[in-house]
Amino acid sequence: MELKNAVAVVTGANRGLGRHLAAQLVERGATVYAAARRPETVDLPGVTPLRLDVTDEESIRAAARTASDATLLVNNAGISTGTPLIAGSPEAVRLEMDTNFFGPLAVTRAFTPVIEGNGGGAVLNVLSVLSWLHPAGLGSYAAAKAAAWALTDAAREELAPRGIAVSGLHVGYMDTDMAAGVPAGQKADPAAVAAQALSGIEAGLPEILADETTRYVKQSLAASPNAG
């Protein structure tokens, strides 16, 4: 998909990776709706702030009506609460699933007829290396991202006949607020990750692996899990 003259909706565009994605889309010649729960927090030049809360169906429907010229959807908004699945709060587990799985699903469902009606386009889902690697302490986040990976693969097959390509971006820790407690040497530059993601969309890649850790884990999926 050519990004010049594309019309993009980027969720969670007020900070972190989403902000870099929105800024770089503008640089590549796209029109950008920078979506956030609080659009007044969007401070990027050249974008149109858009209210969109991925856990609020009416907010999603309203955003789809406003951004009725969209040809690209970037499902970037997400949260990590650091909640284990067994000992953690059920409410926190549900919140992560609502935000990281049901949210992108609802937004994609709302924007599919919009993108199709505008001649087709693409969807990018921001996933994680934890789609495949499931540490106990981040069990709820990993489970939600694994579900979002399945969503990405299933939607790719379902939306292809409608002229919509679906890509998944997998990445480990990035230098953003979500990974503030992680040592700097273990975090990727979100600007570089955004550039890889957008180049992957332009190349039509179904899967974009943004760092060495993610590539290593993906290659290791076929290995037998350690016994007991």
DSSP states of 16-51 as a string? HHHHHHHHHHHHTT-EEEEEESSGGG---TT-EEEE
Residue 153 pLDDT grade (very low, low, confident, very high; cuts 50, 70, 90): very high
Mean pLDDT of 40-53: 97
Q: Is the pLDDT of residue 180 over 50?
A: no
**3-state class (DSSP) for residue 168:** strand
Give the burial class of 119: count Cβ atoms within 10 A of its Cβ; 0-12 exposed, 13-18 middle, 19 or more buried: exposed
- Dihedral angle of Cα 165, 148, 26, 58, to the nearest 10 degrees: 100
Give me the residue label for tokens 């809360």: 53
Q: Is the pLDDT of residue 112 over 70?
A: yes
Q: Are 197 and 208 in contact (CB under 8 A)?
A: yes
How far out from the chain centre does Cα 55 lie?
A: 14
- Residues forming a β-bridge with 10: 34, 74
User: Backbone dihedral region of 136: left (phi > 0), alpha (psi from -120 to 50 degrees) or beta?
Assistant: alpha
End-to-end CA distance of the chain: 46
Where is pLDDT greater, at 152 or 183?
A: 152
Q: Is the pLDDT of residue 191 over 80?
A: yes
Average pLDDT taken over every residue of the chain: 92
Nearest of 130, 152, 163 to residue 206 by alpha carbon:
152
Q: Is the pLDDT of residue 4 over 70?
A: yes
Mean pLDDT of 56-85: 97
How far out from the chain centre does Cα 50 lie?
A: 17
Q: Are 74 and 34 in contact (CB under 8 A)?
A: no
Give me the residue label for tokens 């009606």: 117
